Amino acid sequence: MPRVQFEKIVKTYGRVTVLKNLDLEIEDGEFVVLLGPSGCGKTTLLNLLAGLIDVSSGRIQIGGKDVTDLDPKDRGLAMVFQSYALYPTKTVRGNLKFGLAAAKLDHAEQERRIAWAAKLLQIEPLLDRKPAQLSGGQRQRVAIGRALVKQVPVFLFDEPLSNLDAKLRTETRIEIKRLHDETRSTIVYVTHDQIEAMTMATRIAIMNAGVIQQFDTPDAVYERPANLFVAGFIGAPAMNIFPATISTAGGKPSAVLKGVDSRIDLGGYAFATAPREGDSVMVGLRPEHFLAPNQTDGDVAARFSLPVQYTEKTGADATGYFRTDHGLMAVSVSPDRIGELRQGDVAALGFPHGKVHVFDAAGGQRL
């Protein structure tokens, strides 16, 4: 499977720059997710790769071949769109066959590919039905199958699950991941849903304002976010981020949080450069890493005493929100203990060593 390379990609619309001197290399057989909020440029980048829009400057290569100026049909790609875009008057078989007939493949080869894709996607019983007779998940599998039968080395997915309900999203997500495991094709997948990205990708390119903020494995972007944007974007509930000042009293660095009346021990933190007394930083604490409320005995990096604002319970997950001078602090709590937190009560909270994130307050980069 070929490597995909973007080199110094710029895309402008009039005075608006959508992509800013972007570089990205996708290895053979990778499942790369372009993740970010609406308007970050991820779909634009996918459309540039597909050849649906032209680059303003820069170069795109697939398998070492410059495809920047090639027509979409000559790039060796297949694309699955957000909308199913199936032909309503054709059966499932007819939809799968349409692109193959246009490619002038012989009948036997067309049938072989249709049978292979139908078996892989478990739509064999649906081949003689029309789209109106299918569920949303079945239609999306047909749309994926229509791309699969082309048997190209690179597949593009543009938010293919956004029109499905929660249960179908989970089922189809598993199907797409299984598809990649079996075919080992190179996949470039666009989404704004971090769950899709974290569960399917081999690497994630997190984008914001036309710039790739971090390109790494799901574990790496979660455990070591490169900057404040990534830290706040990855994770649900979102990471708690508070302004703080570095103190080096006693030869051990700590962060004095503002508006929370607490100090965090940073003695074991792996700083890229040694912090200085008085440096302004931002400290990130993930809700799921807090110790259970009112169970803070032992060696912890920080302790807090905060009033309960409100709580949420969604089946297997529960979150307590605690009031600070810089907004609410979210803390994940065991569902069977969330009832112990009552609005207005003050709870003792602890945060362990090794889970703190520290960022430069001025530039937002990880320290």
User: Is residue 365 situated within a structural domain?
Assistant: no
User: Is residue 263 situated within a structural domain?
Assistant: yes
For residue 295, pLDDT over 80 is answered with: no
Same domain? For 35 and 105 the reply is: yes
Q: 295-301: which pairs have CB atoms within 8 A and are 24 or more residues apart?
A: 295/350, 296/348, 296/349, 296/350, 298/350, 299/353, 300/350, 300/351, 300/352, 300/353, 301/264, 301/265, 301/266, 301/351, 301/352, 301/353, 301/354, 301/355, 301/356
Q: Which 8-state DSSP code applies to residue 40?
A: S
Instruction: Say whether pTM exceeds 0.85.
Output: yes
Which stretch of 24-33, 99-108, 152-161 has the lowest confidence by average pLDDT?
99-108
Same domain? For 91 and 161 the reply is: yes
CB contact burial 92-106 (16+ within 10 A = b; e otherwise): bbbbbbebbeeeebe
d(CA 134, CA 164): 13
Residue 39, both tokens: 């308007």
Handedness of CA 85, 117, 205, 2 (dihedral sign): negative
Same domain? For 41 and 141 the reply is: yes
Residue 282, both tokens: 């931002």
Same domain? For 217 and 240 the reply is: no
Residue 271 pLDDT: 87
From 193, 226, 259, give the residue that closes a domain.
226
Residue 294 pLDDT: 79
Same domain? For 218 and 242 the reply is: no
Q: Say which residues have a Cβ less than 8 Å from residue 119's Cβ, sequence separation at least 6.
A: none
Residue 217 pLDDT: 97
For residue 1, pLDDT over 60 is answered with: no
| Segment holding 137, helix H or strand E | helix 136-148
d(CA 205, CA 97): 34
CATH number for the domain that contains residue 176: 3.40.50.300
Q: Say which residues have a Cβ less than 8 Å from residue 199's Cβ, sequence separation at least 6.
A: 173, 177, 218
- φ, ψ at 161 (rounded to 5°): -105, 0
From 226, 254, 287, give the residue that closes a domain.
226
Handedness of CA 117, 121, 127, 130 (dihedral sign): negative
Q: How many domains would you assign to the chain?
A: 2
Domain span including residue 264: 236-360
Query: pLDDT for 216-246, tens place per residue?
Result: 999 999 999 999 999 999 988 899 999 999 9
d(CA 232, CA 287): 12
Average pLDDT taken over every residue of the chain = 89
User: Is residue 231 situated within a structural domain?
Assistant: no
CB contact burial 195-232 (16+ within 10 A = b; e otherwise): ebbbebbebbbbbbebebbbbbebeebbeebbbbbbbb
Q: Which residue has the higher pLDDT, 141 or 220?
A: 220
Residue 226 pLDDT: 95
Residue of 47, 30, 34, 60 lying closest to 205 (CA atoms): 34
From 226, 249, 269, give the residue that closes a domain.
226
d(CA 88, CA 244): 59
Residue of 258, 184, 270 lying closest to 223 (CA atoms): 270
Residue 196 pLDDT: 92
For residue 168, pLDDT over 80 is answered with: no
Query: pLDDT for 67-92, tens place per residue?
Result: 999 998 888 888 888 777 888 899 99
Give the confidence band of 149 by pLDDT, cuts at 50, 70, 90: confident
For residue 341, pLDDT over 70 is answered with: yes
DSSP string, 150-183: T--SEEEEESTTTTS-HHHHHHHHHHHHHHHHHH
d(CA 339, CA 312): 10
Same domain? For 43 and 157 the reply is: yes
Same domain? For 181 and 260 the reply is: no
Same domain? For 189 and 248 the reply is: no
Give the confidence band of 322 by pLDDT, cuts at 50, 70, 90: very high
